[in-house]
Structure 1
Amino acid sequence: MVESMTMRSLIIIDVGTTSIRGLLFDETGSIRTTEQRDNPPVYYPDGRVEQDPATWLEKLYSILSACRQTAESQGLQTEALVLTAQRSSVIPVDREGTALRPAIMWQDKRTDQICAALSDRGPEIYQRSGANLSPVFSAAKMRWIRENEPSVYQHTEKMVGIQDFLIHSLTGRFVTDQSFASRTNLMNLRDRCWDEDLLRIFNVDRSLLCDLLPPGSIAGSVGPSAAARSGLPQGLPVISGGGDQNCAALGQGVYQGGTLVANTGTGSYLIAHADQPVLDAQRRLVCNASAIPGAYIVEASILTSGSIYRWFFEQFYSTPPEEEKTFHQIDTEARSSPPGAEGVILLPYFKGAGTPWWNPRATGTFLNLTLGTRRGDMARAVLEGIAAEFRTNLGLIEGLTGEIKRVNVAGGLTTLDLYNQIQADLMEKPVYHSPVKEATALGAWVNGVITLGLHSSIQGALQSALGSQHPKLYTPNPATQGTYRRLIQRRETVIKAIEESGFYSL
């Protein structure tokens, strides 16, 4: 009689900006259950963004308990926990791992003045860390705590990110992986160690930083307290899967050259693979450690994208209170406008300009409006304005990583066929709309199963998870090429003219 083998599973924890999610994957890559707990930060009028770290622990153990129960009810054997999370938030903790103040979140702006004072060190910071000097990254936040809350700094055992905070609660160890560390402005991108010169620039003590591990490493195992709170077995491996966008790129198939992922959510990220650190002479692109051990990603960011389409819908497509709000009308009208949107151009800088312009003062602009302009032309111009940013950044990325042969697209706005076709036409590349709905968690799962030896390759793990699902292909339409090349030329002329005029500083 042949005994049946128990199916193995992993619990993936994915900490986002407004929620924390737990996904139970089996060893084939199928998602057996998803648990989500909303957990938004507090936004203050002066630009501060904070969160009580205790809320992450409360929701973490609630999710782990629920996933454990599902695994048991389905006869699954849990092999490990894998963590991924948002990057660049900072929590000072004591030696017990207890937070000494609320977390300073990644989008917090309180360090603007510190960054301005260090602006002359910007080129050196970029050359060493691969990332521009920015309030987004962790180092300036650590310096702010030292200068403004000296008592907190004095009592701090470690400055940790969200994933480090959770790993310590689970295992009792203070460790972080290199993909998170590369978003601090403190790790040397080449040797993947904390950089003494960067530590001196930001006046951060090395002793306050966690030990570094490659992404995908076993960070420790579930300790007695965590086992009691979650019901999981003591000794269960805890794996650091990598940063959220790093994992999302892996989950979307960016593990070798020639592929770009374009993720359009509230904002957008374009990410490509690199085998070695690659830096832009003009510091327009960011280079980070990949979720793949030893590899790198080149990253461009657009600060507002899908959020603009929603804003335009809410402002110009009002519906009676008793009717459900749907995007059907705006989508239909955008489709009715021809390529080029009858000359209407959008500059999508509703929260400043990201890559490659890097101007926090830039604002959103519609150009070429006439009395003949229709609402649908403006809606299409929103979609084209986002995709035009992609086109500009694609050219920069290709200059560093080599030719991009395909673009894998994901995110909420990619449910719109028109937008995906616009992306293909403007980037002049084949665009594949991935069937993957949980790219971040999938990327973390890939790292987990390879670490545990359940799969031998990234390609094999992804193929197992995707099964018979295939992406939808959008090919560039040659008839739009002239229109869109003129659009790119006109918008870049306008952008440079606005910059040179000093308009945003008036």
Structure 2
Amino acid sequence: MHVGIDLGTTATKAVLVDDAGIVVARAGAAHDTLRPGDGLAEQDPDGWILSVRAALAGLREAAPAAFAAARGIGFSGQMHSLVALDAADRPVRPALLWNDGRGTAACAALTAAVPDVAAITGVAAMPSFTAAKLVWLRDEEPDAFARTAHVLSPKDFVRLWATGERATDMSDAAGTQLFDQRARDWSPAMLAAVGLDPARLPPLLEGIAPAGTLRATVAAETGLPPGLPVAAGGGDTPAVAIGLGCTAPGSGFLSLGTGGVLLTTRDRYDGRGHPTVHDFAHALPGRWYHMAGLSNGASALAWAARLVGAADVGELLARVAARHAGPSRVMFLPYLAGDRTPHADVHLRGALFGLGEATDAVDVAQAVIEGIAFSVREADDLMAAAGGRCERPAFVGGGARSALWGRILATLLGRPLVRLSDGDHAGALGAARLAAIAGDADAIPTVARPPAAVDELEPIAAMAAAYEDRFALFKTQFAAVATYAAGTVPG
């Protein structure tokens, strides 16, 4: 038995996996996000510990004997967020999340200081990443920066609680923009640009490597065996890839959750693609991944449901599916939370075009799912140009619950999407698998197998031309939202 913990943006998910790789229990618990201003997002790191405790209690209640027999635990978690700790390993302030835009101004300074930032770190300087947030902390909260003795990622803070040891894995380090992807080590150039002493960063480990054992006090309060081996783990995106069995070069997935991810596994670092397409170290040795990150995913549909007064997103999607006969009469530009790939602009905001007196809730909802699909297609085109496209991606996340959404995506991508079992818990499953591999790289193909396929969503051939025309129109509308965003940027 192995335990996997996935510390997400809104909740913690936990799974208990047997030796055959079967999930025998699942549990979860939410944690709160603080919104101190527009475009700002923070969380209390101690709140993560509470949600992890609650998730572990849920596993223990669901399968007490199996839980007590666990032989290892692994963690995954939201990437890029900044956890600044003092010398006593206590947070100096709330964590700045990946979707907090306070590092925007720092990106130009980082690029000026390190012109080849994209080649070193695998992506252009963006406020999503830890480096830009550290520059903001240094310049805007110098006392907090001075008191910062250690910089960790969220899942590494939770593992510190569990083991008393500070460390990070290659994949979470890859998402900080302080990391040299080719060398799989901290980047001296980026550390100098941020003004960060290397001693403030944790040791680097491969995701399958041991990173301590469970402290006796944590074992006593959770019911897990004391001394339980704890794996280094991985960032949420590579952990999902491992949970879905995307470990061989060319395998990959599309996830639509709070945001969106389109990923392909690779066996080398390239660093020559589009600057907003991420080329990052994987949580597995000798692996990297090519990834497009979308700031807006299935969460945009929840926003649309609130906008039109729909109480249930599933019911709204059913109404869209019942009436679907081609592209919506309304077009949605899906930048409610800015954009990462391909536009790298946190100031972008969404827009609805083509509204009329006859426009209703179904038109708006369909426009939203199509707008996200158009954005995925843009990202896929960039990845294909860099040789990083997956030909048969798995389809997971909240958006994967809609067969229509999947078929519209398949139509725009020109290839089928495969829905897999346990897709909603793939991050936690990947974390458990990293623990089960236990440092034995030869075990990766056996342990990290793809879950069973639920179905395959094919393109809608009769609508392919209409959606291609609509996609071309979608791209022309970007100038309008870009102009609007430029006029609203402070200063």
Query: What TM-score comes out, normalization by structure 1 length?
Result: 0.87
Q: State the one-letter code of the partner of 2:471.
A: I
Q: Does 1:362 align with 2:348?
A: yes
Matches within 5 A, 1:150-299: 150-299=142-291
Q: CA separation of 1:378/1:26 partners in 2, compared to 1, >3 Å: closer, same or farther? A: same
Shift of 1:76: 5.7
Contact kept in structure 1, 2:178 and 2:190, CA below 8 Å: yes
CA 1:36–1:245 in 2, change beyond 3 Å: closer, same or farther? Answer: same
The match for 2:365 is: 379
AA in 2 matched with 1:87:
M
1:418 aligns with 2:404: yes
Is the contact between residue 408 and residue 431 of structure 1 (CA under 8 Å) also seen in structure 2?
yes
Residues 107 and 122 of structure 1: CA distance in aligned 2, closer, same or farther (over 3 Å) = farther
Task: Report SS of the residue matched to 2:101.
Answer: coil
Partner of 1:27: 19
Instruction: Using the TM superposition, give the Cα deviation of residue 34 of structure 1 relative to its aligned residue in structure 2, in angstroms.
Output: 2.7
Corresponding residue for residue 393 of structure 1: 379
Match of 2:478 in 1: 495
**Is 2:13–2:428's contact at 8 Å kept on the other side of the alignment?**
no
Q: Return the letter of the residue paired with 2:408.
A: I
How far apart are the structure 2 equivalents of 1:122 and 1:503?
Answer: 30
Output the CA distance in 2 between the equivalents of 1:48 and 1:495: 24
Unaligned runs of 5+ in 2: none
Q: 1:329 to 1:185 in 2, by over 3 A?
A: closer
Residue 39 of structure 1 deviates from its aligned partner by 1.6
* One-letter amino acid matched to 2:172: F
* Partner Cα distance (1:175, 1:389) in 2: 35
Percent same amino acid among aligned pairs? 28
**Cα distance between partner residues in 2 of 1:160 and 1:308:** 29
Contact 2:81 2:130 in 1 (8 A): yes
Give, in angstroms, the shift of residue 416 of structure 1. 1.6
Shift in Å at residue 408 of structure 1?
A: 1.3
Correspondence for 1:448 among 421, 429, 435 = 435
Alignment partner of 2:459 out of 470, 476, 493: 476
User: Structure 1: which 5+ residue stretches go unaligned?
Assistant: 1-8, 320-324
Instruction: Kindly indicate whether the alpha-carbon contact (under 8 Å) linking 1:257 and 1:404 is maintained by their aligned counterparts in 2.
Output: no
Whole-angstrom CA distance in 2 between matches of 1:134 and 1:402: 21
Single out whichever of 413-422 and 60-69 deviates more from structure 2. Answer: 60-69
Equivalent residue, structure 2, for 1:45: 37
The 3-state SS of whatever aligns with 2:453 is: coil
How far has the Cα of 1:360 moved from its partner? 2.5
Residue 471 of structure 1 aligns to a residue in which SS? strand
Which 10-residue stretch deviates more, 226-235 or 199-208? 226-235
* 2-structure distance, mates of 1:329, 1:22: 29
Shift of 1:45: 1.9
Equivalent residue in structure 1 for 2:324, among 313, 330, 337: 337
For residue 183 of structure 1, report the CA deviation from its aligned partner.
0.9
Higher Rg: 1
Q: What's the counterpart of residue 307 of structure 2?
A: 315
Give SS of 1:36's match. strand
Cα 1:260–1:60 shift into 2, 3 Å: closer
- Name the CA distance, whole Å, in 1 between partners of 2:36 and 2:386: 38
Write out per-residue CA displacement over residues 415-437 of structure 1, whole angstroms, 9 at most, x where no aligned residue.
Answer: 12211111111111011122223
| Count of aligned positions | 486
d(CA) in 1 for partners of 2:437 and 2:381? 33
Matches of 1:345 and 1:429 in 2, distance apart?
23
Conserved in 1, the CA contact under 8 Å of 2:250 and 2:389? yes
* Residues 458-485 of structure 1: CA deviation (Å, up to 9, x unaligned): 443344x83xx43311222332222122
CA 98–75 in structure 1, closer or farther in 2 if over 3 Å, else same: closer
User: Could you tell me how far 1:504 is from its partner in structure 2?
Assistant: 3.0
